[in-house]
Amino acid sequence: MNKDPRSPQDSNDQRTPETRSDALPGASRRDFLATGALGIAGASLLGACKEDGKGTAAGGEHATADVHAKAVVKPGQLDDYYGFWSGGQSGEIRIMGIPSMREIKRIPVFNRDACTGWGATDFSQQLLKGKMSGDTHHVHLSYNGGTYDGRYVYVNDKAQARLARVNCETMEVDKIAEIPNSQGTHGIFPQRHKTGYVFCNAEFRTPPDNNAETAADPRGYGAMHTAVDGETMEVKWQVLIEGNLDLCATDYKGLYSFATCYNLEGGVTLEEMMKNDRDCLYVFNIAAIEKAVAAGKGKTFGKSKVPVIDARGADSEYVVRVPVAKSPHGVNVDPTGKYAVCSGKLSPTVTVVEIDKLADVFAKKIKPAQAIVAEPEVGLGPLHTAFDGRGNAYTSIFIDSVVTKWNIAKAIAEYKGEAVKQSQAVLQKLDVHYQIGHINASMSETKDADGKWLIALCKFSKDRFLNVGPLHPENDQLIDISGEKMVLVHDGPTWPEPHDAVIVRKDLIHPKKVQSRTDERFKMYEAWAKEDGVDLQRDSKVVRKQGLVRVYITSLAPKFAMSEFTVKTGDRVQVIISNIDKVEDLSHGFCMSHHDVNFLVNAQDTQSATFTAGAPGVYWYYCPWFCHALHLEMRGRMIVTA
């Protein structure tokens, strides 16, 4: 019986993927890749755990004690970096400490969160509009001058075509934009020269008006590249394109946005999507699109008023198509802003595009293919690329289960036919466990990439952690890239399924320790209080309106200022709690027994929830967050009469 190639006992196998006979009966990995989509599907069950022959073995057993010590954050010490992880099917964002890999916070975004009440509070329900699930894939921060400005975090919802924004002062969602005419909103990326647009790619091709009468003919399908204003979160314009749009990136000057296309064929079945030898990188000319929108050249579809520029078909002033390696996934721009690297997941190569050449492409002085300056062979199934700021790139290789380190300048020289061998461009391959997806390095997405840490987000973790049942954790692996060689220093199980992560220097992020009461939602509370003649931070009062009972309560450990109120069965009750404690970590909450109401209220914060009063009786409400030695006594009664 063949061994599972993902099993750790294979990690010292010295054979290459081409010579191993146990990968599949009678087939090498390259044979498997040649079978196209079926090869990828089968090979996704595999993972090369071979030595790379360059001194760094699987599992990092050659790592020195000094390297491991760098990843240790002792009790009482703080991490050097914030890590922002997308939460995948959980619909959330996670904040990690780097290099400790400690999970510090989970930010609910598109999900119902019983811990904080997100999804049940009035403000969160207003944003979510009844949609209580999401699929967060890509998380990126706002920029200024090519580096993070510490203001916002943006994340997509692939499931329901939404973009959310987190305010870094509170690490809470303050706005959600719904993206029209789109399905499968996947890749996103903000502009890097300032907090301008956030671009969002629709992965799934649909009829532009989503009319079922035209659904039978996919030739008329298209996908939207959407520009959202990062300040207002308003959808400003869209570009309709013929192919599936996957990952997204932007340049450093505000000239272009990018989208990889893995289905230039326009197919609707797996086989139809695999016909072409190459796909493309869409390059969008932002100034030309803005000019066309301002001139009224945009169409509208359905109920949406957002202008759409139809750029399907041939290259134009709005978009050009650079041919890249087959079925590209990631597109990543290096810290110098010179190169966009596209990873062809059905090719062993990545395609390097020189961004400055794109102006000549749009001017028709050169053909799109002439913007390509390198195509190094990095391994089977390249997905994403990170950078260290020293001219080196790190590409995640899904099928081989490795990270490939390669030098951009050497790859360009090799492509030109200069006296540089391919083996000189590829500097090292490090085994990771197993089937790596996204990859990112410290400050890699900025001009300030510092080459300290690399994170490998692996899709499988077989046998590396205690068995917890059929749903296995995934495996986040921390890699030291500060030296000549990559060294694996940490395995960390993670709840499925983070797709992407960014690592940000801690000096760029400045969250508030106590609520400043300047968030968008406070406008809502203040409007209610003004209407009802209430001071939110002083008054506890019941205000009865037609069809609604508003209950204002302040909390100061260890008591609620109001210990009893009375309503009638069937009343709509809105409880508005203001925590007037000033101690930075003294959180309260409000839980109403038997009414599915439970939410968090931090120091100096106000939160609210609305519910229907149940059957006649006595219902205790209490503080669910430990706040005082008399915490258990912090409660009150809601008396419901017939």
Q: What is the DSSP letter of 470?
A: S
* pLDDT of 273 above 80: no
HEC secondary structure over 183-200: CCEEEEEECCCCCCEEEE
The structure tokens listed for 521 are 């939602």
Alpha-carbon 6 to chain mean position: 27
Weakest mean pLDDT among 9-13, 192-196, 299-303, 611-615: 9-13
Weakest mean pLDDT among 209-223, 231-245, 288-302, 343-357: 209-223
Place of tokens 């609305």: 610
Angle 242-245-251 from CA coordinates, rounded to 5°: 115
Instruction: State the Rg of the chain over Cα.
Output: 27
The pLDDT tens digits of the residues spanning 577-599 come to 999 999 999 999 999 999 999 99
* pLDDT of 3 above 50: no
- Name which of 302, 148, 304 is nearest 226 in CA terms: 304
Q: How confident is the model at residue 50 (pLDDT cuts 50, 70, 90)?
A: very low
Rounded CA gap, 264 and 276, in Å? 8
Weakest mean pLDDT among 49-53, 125-129, 223-227, 584-588: 49-53
Rounded CA gap, 637 and 419, in Å? 82
Longest CA pairwise span in the chain (Å): 90
Q: Where are the domains of the chain?
A: 8-50, 521-641
Angle 251-255-256 from CA coordinates, rounded to 5°: 60
- Under 8 Å between Cβ of 406 and 414: no
420 or 31: whose pLDDT is higher?
420
- Under 8 Å between Cβ of 73 and 99: yes
Angle 554-169-334 from CA coordinates, rounded to 5°: 160
Looking at the DSSP assignment, which residues form a beta bridge with residue 185?
202
Weakest mean pLDDT among 262-271, 297-306, 476-485, 616-625: 262-271
Rounded CA gap, 7 and 28, in Å? 18
120 or 12: whose pLDDT is higher?
120
pLDDT above 90 as % of the chain: 79
Neighbours of 548 (CB within 10 A): 12
Can you give the pLDDT at residue 65?
67
* pLDDT of 330 above 90: yes
Can you give the pLDDT at residue 276?
76
pLDDT above 70 as % of the chain: 89
Rounded CA gap, 424 and 53, in Å? 14
Rounded CA gap, 184 and 172, in Å? 24
* pLDDT of 21 above 50: no
3 or 292: whose pLDDT is higher?
292
Rounded CA gap, 435 and 239, in Å? 34
* pLDDT of 350 above 80: yes
Q: Stretch 124-130: mean pLDDT, rounded? A: 96
Q: How confident is the model at residue 268 (pLDDT cuts 50, 70, 90)?
A: confident
- Name which of 579, 520, 526 is nearest 127 in CA terms: 520
Q: Stretch 475-491: mean pLDDT, rounded? A: 96
Can you give the pLDDT at residue 199?
98
Can you give the pLDDT at residue 59?
43
- Under 8 Å between Cβ of 597 and 574: no
Can you give the pLDDT at residue 64?
63
- Name which of 108, 110, 161, 156 is nearest 133 in CA terms: 110
Q: How confident is the model at residue 422 (pLDDT cuts 50, 70, 90)?
A: low
DSSP helix/strand/coil, 371: helix
Helix (H) or strand (E) holding 259: strand 256-261
Average pLDDT score over the chain:
89
The pLDDT tens digits of the residues spanning 90-111 come to 999 999 999 999 999 999 999 9
Q: How many alpha carbons fall within 13 Å on the CB side of residue 186?
A: 21
Weakest mean pLDDT among 143-157, 257-271, 493-507, 538-552: 257-271
Helix (H) or strand (E) holding 589: strand 588-592
HEC secondary structure over 372-438: EEECCECCCCEEEEEECCCCEEEEEECCCCEEEEEEHHHHHHHHCCCCCCHHHHEEEEEECCCCEEE
Q: How confident is the model at residue 375 (pLDDT cuts 50, 70, 90)?
A: very high
Tell me if the pTM is above 0.75.
yes
- Name which of 209, 200, 205 is nearest 243 in CA terms: 205
Residue 279 CA: distances (Å) to CA of 361, 395, 465, 566: 17, 19, 39, 66
The structure tokens listed for 116 are 């904080």
Place of tokens 């931090």: 602
Weakest mean pLDDT among 276-280, 362-366, 427-431, 511-515: 276-280
Fold topology of 521-641: Immunoglobulin-like (2.60.40)
Phi, psi of 218 (to 5 degrees): -70, -5
Alpha-carbon 147 to chain mean position: 18
Q: How confident is the model at residue 421 (pLDDT cuts 50, 70, 90)?
A: low
Q: How confident is the model at residue 63 (pLDDT cuts 50, 70, 90)?
A: low
* pLDDT of 61 above 80: no
* pLDDT of 114 above 80: yes
Rounded CA gap, 170 and 403, in Å? 35
Can you give the pLDDT at residue 54?
38
Neighbours of 300 (CB within 10 A): 14
Can you give the pLDDT at residue 5?
35
* pLDDT of 51 above 90: no
The pLDDT tens digits of the residues spanning 204-214 come to 999 888 877 77
